[in-house]
Structure 1
Amino acid sequence: MSRRWSLRGKEIAVDDEDVVPAGLPERLFATDRFPCERINMYSTIDFLLCVRDALNGTEEMAMLLRSCFGTLFRFPVRRVLMGKVIHGMLTRQVLTKKKYELWPVFGGNPFRFSLVEFGEVTGLPCDEFEEGYSIDYELPATEENYAYWERLIGPDRDATIADLVAMVLGDTGMPASRKLRLCLIIIVDGVLVPTSQIQKPSLKHVNLVKNIKNFLAFQWGRESFAWAIRTMKPCPKKLRQKTLRILGFPLALQLVAFELIPHMQG
């Protein structure tokens, strides 16, 4: 057992097998053979600015800042580079047998990106899911399950996150409780766990937001990380494609790099 320091300066114990040896493992690509293609990330960080504008100065915004989502509103949104930086890190990683870790290399030194680092930079809860839960589970599209959707969003079952943004910004007379719930859906399905290029509300998330306490207690960090890591560790062939689809919240990888390599922030 050895010791290491977390991103926030806390000393933690790690297994010796987690420590990268002095001689780096094999890289995914040779150092002069990196592909230079484009990443298509479904997460839209600007939706956080929309939520802040919609709830600015309200008790609902104050509650959000105190919640598990509070750290999201302190991100350097205007300075993130997203696709270009993240693609560079994905192509400059060393190979690891661990399914839920990345080891990008910067300046000749690798750094780990795992659920631990994801939770530290996002502040999101990353504990275990309830037994039997799967991120791939979707509620059946029954009339019963759409009943609350119609109360919260309306009759349009093809509504997008952009539609929800227009609703919360445009309807000044909207009840505060409804606006808060719509904003929570925008955060989750537009920023943390979008699963399509045109982001849409998830039926299971809409039903979950009926109870705000349960919604805020959900393990959003683990959910978002799970979606991201499964698409951030593609085979080399996919990284050479003209576009690469990344789900979840891949910005967390850049935020980890920002904390470890401060001069990257410019």
Structure 2
Amino acid sequence: MPDPQTKINYISTFNVLPIVETAVGPDAWFRVLDSPLGVVVRFKQLNFQWSAKLVHHHLLSNQLVCENEHELWFLIRGQPGQFSLFEFEDITALNCYEPPSGINFEQFEEHIHFHSLLKLRVKCLSPSIEDIKKLCQNSAAEISKWSVDDRVRLCYLAILSNGLLGIDRRTGILIDHYRLVMNLDSFERYPWGRIACKDLISKVKQATNFKIYQGSYAINGFVQVLQIWAYVYIPSVGRSLGYPLPNATDRPKLLRFQGKVRRLPTANVFQSESVCDHYL
């Protein structure tokens, strides 16, 4: 059994989003809030508290062998619990359908113009979250003069790299994702939930196959969704540790908990009730 004191380092911090919000201005920011990816921004606004102990000790350390590359299974009080695309979509309300067969990468000239606005290093093909952070900190006055569409594009790139996909801060976003942001309608309809879920499951399996017995390890991706999975699928955990928000049943499940840390033995909570086969 891995050491219960092992710590998980995670990339999906969302800590750059407030800096981006200030730089792009309220018109662009509220447009993003009203978009399909707005749920990710609203999650950041909850100041959700991460629990490495809960995710590592009670979920990742109790994984069952699963050959399906798109699923995770955990053993909770002798009962298997599944995490897959279905659960990810139910929790986040993000689009998890199959991606379209063909993607339109037109607007070449517009892409060149937008790329120049980012002030990237020579031969840098796409921005990292570190690039976006520095741009927003150093060039906010210039960003305010951009078109609304370009400022929305900057927000979307920050959401993907700093949160939804949890990319390392110095690693550029995938070129296809970067190019897709030029077509905002296609970008907003794209199944980012499916991309994020498959990426998270892949990163969890990579990390836990090789690093779970170390004193600490890192997981890329939107790893907080695993913590909310425990709150949703194990009702006693959600009630005792999730700090459920009042009058939040009309929200996506991602936005129903704050996860505030309480001095309550997590082992006792996990032993008090099995995984449920229904949703809260």
- TM-score, structure 2 as length reference: 0.67
The CA RMSD over aligned residues, in Å, is 3.2
Equivalent residue, structure 1, for 2:60? 90
CA distance in 2: counterparts of 1:66 and 1:43, whole angstroms: 21
Structure 1 range deviating more: 255-264 or 220-229: 255-264
What is the one-letter code of the residue matched to 2:93? G
Report the counterpart of residue 42 of structure 2 in structure 1.
Answer: 74
Instruction: Call closer, same or farther: CA 1:166–1:196 in 2, change over 3 Å.
Output: closer
SS in 1 for 2:82: coil
The answer (yes or no) to whether the contact 1:41–1:83 under 8 Å persists in 2 is no
2:160, 2:166 within 8 Å by CA — same for their partners in 1?
Answer: yes
Alpha-carbon contact 1:115-1:225 (below 8 Å) kept: yes
Shift of 1:114: 0.8
Q: Distance in 2 between matches of 1:110 and 1:147?
A: 50
For 1:200, the equivalent position in structure 2 comes to: 172
Amino acid at match of 1:180: V
* Greater Cα shift, 210-219 or 167-176: 167-176
In structure 2, the residue matched to 1:43 is 12
| Aligned with 2:130 (options 156, 162, 167) | 162
Whichever residue aligns with residue 126 of structure 1, its letter is C
TM-score normalised to the size of structure 1?
A: 0.70
Distance 1:96 1:253, change over 3 A: same
Q: Distance in 2 between matches of 1:203 and 1:236?
A: 28
1:249 equivalent in alignment to 2:222: yes
* Structure showing greater relative contact order (alpha-carbon pairs closer than 8 Å, 6 or more residues apart): 2
Deviation at 1:131, TM superposition (A): 3.9
Aligned with 2:201 (options 226, 229, 239):
229
1:180 aligns with 2:148: no
Is this contact kept in 2: 1:160–1:201, CA < 8 A? yes
- Give the Cα–Cα distance (whole angstroms) in 1 for the partners of residues 89 and 16 of structure 2: 20
Give the structure 2 partner of residue 14 of structure 1.
none
SS in 1 for 2:97: coil
Offset, 1:168? 3.5
Residue segments in structure 2 that go unaligned for 5+ positions in a row: 244-280
The residue type equivalent to 1:93 in the other structure is Q
Write the distance in 2 (CA, Å) between the matches of 1:227 and 1:164.
22
Which residue does the alignment assign to 1:220? 192
Q: 1:244 to 1:215 in 2, by over 3 A?
A: same
In the alignment, which residue of structure 2 is the partner of 1:122? 92
Aligned partner (choices 55, 69, 73) of residue 99 of structure 1: 69
Amino acid at match of 2:242: Q
Report the AA paired with residue 168 of structure 2: S
Q: How far off its partner does 1:185 sit?
A: 0.5
Letter in 1 for 2:9: N
